[in-house]
């Protein structure tokens, strides 16, 4: 049998398993986020391929109390940073390539 507690908002009887008060509906505690392999893969893919959007779930996982969730959040942030670095390096190389081609064409024209 679960111990009877009181809701801090309305003093109704609640159990330690309740996430919401059955009387007033207020949230009593945050629900734990899923740490399943499918969820992890989704968060990691989002973090790597859409870097800014991957920060939202990463921060949510970092705020959880268990170490597994915190690890997922840290990995998601690392993947986001790696993706941003790869994007910036690739874009810089692309700009240098285009700049070199344009400079070669301009010097070939004798301008």
pLDDT at 98 over 70: yes
Distance between CA 72 and CA 46 in Å, rounded? Answer: 13
Q: Give the residue from 38, 85, 39, 92 showing the smallest Cα distance to 61.
A: 39
What is the reported pTM? 0.66
Distance between CA 48 and CA 96 in Å, rounded? Answer: 24
Q: Are residues 21 and 73 both part of a single domain?
A: no
Q: Are residues 23 and 40 both part of a single domain?
A: no
Q: Are residues 56 and 87 both part of a single domain?
A: yes
Q: Are residues 84 and 43 both part of a single domain?
A: yes
pLDDT at 1 over 50: no
Residue 59's domain spans which residues? Answer: 34-109
Q: Are residues 52 and 93 both part of a single domain?
A: yes
In sequence order, which residues have a C-beta less than 8 Å from that of residue 58 and are 6 or more positions away?
A: 43, 47, 72, 73, 74, 76, 77, 80
Q: Are residues 53 and 72 both part of a single domain?
A: yes
* Mean pLDDT score, 39-62: 93
Domain count for the chain: 2
């Amino acid at each position: 049998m679960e111990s009877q507690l009181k809701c801090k908002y309305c003093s109704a009887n609640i159990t330690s398993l309740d996430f919401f008060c059955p009387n007033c509906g207020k949230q009593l505690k945050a629900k734990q986020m899923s740490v399943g392999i499918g969820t992890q893969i989704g968060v990691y893919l989002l973090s790597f391929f859409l870097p800014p959007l991957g920060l939202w779930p990463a921060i949510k996982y970092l705020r959880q109390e268990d170490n597994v969730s915190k690890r997922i959040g840290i990995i998601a942030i690392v993947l986001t940073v790696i993706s941003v670095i790869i994007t910036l390096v690739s874009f810089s190389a692309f700009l240098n390539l285009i700049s070199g081609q344009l400079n070669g064409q301009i010097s070939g024209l004798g301008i």
